[in-house]
Structure 1
Amino acid sequence: MSSRGTTFAALGAASALLALTACGTTASSGTASGPGNAVPAAATTTDPDIGAPPGAEVRGRPAVGEPFKLTIGSSDEARPDEFEITVEDITCGEPLDPKVLAHAADSVGEPTQNPSPEGGKQFCVVAMEVLNVGKSEAIWSVDDTVTLNVDDTAYSQSRTDVDYARAYGDYWSDKGELGPSYGLNPGSKGPEHAVFQIPEADEPTTLWFASSDWLESFDGPEPGYLVQLDPAS
């Protein structure tokens, strides 16, 4: 991927799935399971569920721009947390938004920073819209529930990436657009952002959204949704 960055636009589900199956098989070889590390996802490029954790139930394969309903159990079984999530765009290979960084610096009284990704990696920023379609106020974040995948290799947010993503949330919150990490009432919606770091030569192919507060439980991987990306767009 060139350093000028790539933005993935919304396409129909069929074209996104076609582009996914045409992707190459280049993947990073990391195997650690902690935040910010690469972990194995599905096994083969011919598998339509490549990018999902092995053995996980795939409840849908929406495209960028196509909303999907994420249901997460809560202590009140009669009122689970329910969100309609739309991945609006993904931008890779570009610096983090300078307006967000300047706002974060001003809020803590420090000079504006221009963070760089780890050596040999690039930032990928995922922008989402989240609507609470449940029956009570609910909180949701991508911290431990979403991975960005390059074929069969899955990348989580590192602790540093989480801080960058929270800077986006604070920026939009101060503009009056509260996101789900602050809590949304039924019928309310707001922006959510995630920041990942992947090898600079790679292009992401899918996003995995777990229908839980965690990617895995004691019983194995949680079910979820596999959002299809189009690296050629």
Structure 2
Amino acid sequence: MSSRGSTFAALGAASALLMVTACAAATSSDTASGPGSAVPAAATTTDPDAGAPPGAEILGRPAVGEPFKLTVGSSDEARPDEFEITVEDVTCGEPLDPEVVAHAAESVGEPTPTPTPEAGKQYCVVALEVLNVGKSEANWSAGDVMTLNVADTAYSQSLADADHAYDYSQYWYSKGKAGPSFGLNPGSKGPDHGVFQIPADEEPTTVWVASGTSFEGFDGPEPGYLVQLDPAG
């Protein structure tokens, strides 16, 4: 999933007698600095920082499937929590995993309504793999520090979305794959999921993952990684 001249004035009659080489040199000069020599940036490029909180330090721009290291401060400054995070997949426009929904219904012992997004919205599920590369057991939850973005518009989990993400964690725990919200020992890994709702006619472009325990620190937004998606992929 990733994001996607010049008109010259006609030469006057007096210029018609200039040598061809001189014309070529003038043309080159016009291309470099003349009026209309470049299309405005907004029409040809995408802001590489779009999706990151304004003012946040971007630690990297990994692609889907490319791991990145997240260091999260803890009470033990000598042993900060360290994780290797990989965004493995982003699925939009489909119902939530029916096995996850069924497991959630079984856990409460009664039928539950099939989850449906808000009117005009679609579900997007971000699947991650989290490896503890630190030196002590650590907990981490993607929903606390992650947004799914459409250009420069950031979508966070609602309370209902967070409940669905918790259902994914419980489901995979029942399959013997404990995620980071349950705590991971050094060298252990597990799945994590974020559930988001974005407009039904949009495609996400990036995922922002902050390096703190929240989006905002004492001095402004926490630094983080801007994971690049390919809408056409």
State the TM bucket, normalised to the shorter chain. Answer: 0.7 to 0.9
Following superposition of structure 1 onto structure 2, how do residues 213-228 of structure 1 map, counting pairs within 5 Å? 213-228=213-228
TM-score of the superposed pair, with normalisation by structure 2: 0.81
Whole-angstrom distance in 2 between the partners of 1:222 and 1:70: 12
Q: Which runs of 5+ in 2 are unaligned?
A: 5-41
Cα deviation for residue 46 of structure 1 reads 3.1
Structure having the higher helix fraction is 2
Q: 2-side partners of 1:82 and 1:60: how far apart? A: 16
What is the CA distance between 1:144 and its match in structure 2? 2.2
Distance 2:142 2:128 in 1: 10
Asked if the contact 1:72/1:212 (under 8 Å) is kept, the reply is yes
For 2:163 and 2:46, the matched residues in 1 are separated by 36
Distance apart, 1:116 and its partner CA: 0.6
Structure 1 portions without partners, runs of 5+: 1-7, 9-18, 23-43
Deviation at residue 112 of structure 1 after TM alignment: 4.5
Aligned residues: 194
User: Relative contact order, CA 8 A, sep 6+: which one is greater?
Assistant: 1
Structure 1 segment 120-139 matched on structure 2, within 5 A: 120-139=120-139
Partner of 2:149: 149
Contact 1:124 1:198 in 2 (8 A): yes
Q: Based on CA coordinates, which of the two structures has the bigger radius of gyration?
A: 2
In the TM superposition, residue 48 of structure 1 has moved relative to its aligned partner by 1.2
Deviation of the 1:219 alpha carbon: 1.3
Structure 1 vs Structure 2: percent identity of aligned residues? 74
Structure 1 residue matching 2:103: 3-state secondary structure: helix
**CA deviation after TM superposition for structure 1 residue 143, in Å:** 2.4
Moved >3 Å (runs of 4+)? none
Q: For 1:217 and 1:86, locate their aligned partners in 2 and report how far apart those are by CA, in whole Å.
A: 23
SS at match of 1:126: strand
Instruction: Output the aligned Cα RMSD.
Output: 1.1
Select between 72-81 and 110-119 the one with higher mean Cα deviation: 110-119
Q: Name the structure 1 match of 2:39.
A: none
Cα distance between partner residues in 2 of 1:114 and 1:85: 30
Deviates more, 1:152-161 or 1:213-222: 213-222
Does structure 1 residue 212 correspond to structure 2 residue 201? no
| AA at the equivalent of 1:211 | S
CA distance in 2, matches of 1:112, 1:164: 12
- Would you say the 8 A contact 1:92–1:125 is kept in 2? yes
TM-score by length of 1: 0.81
Query: Which letter does structure 1 place at the counterpart of 2:62?
Result: P
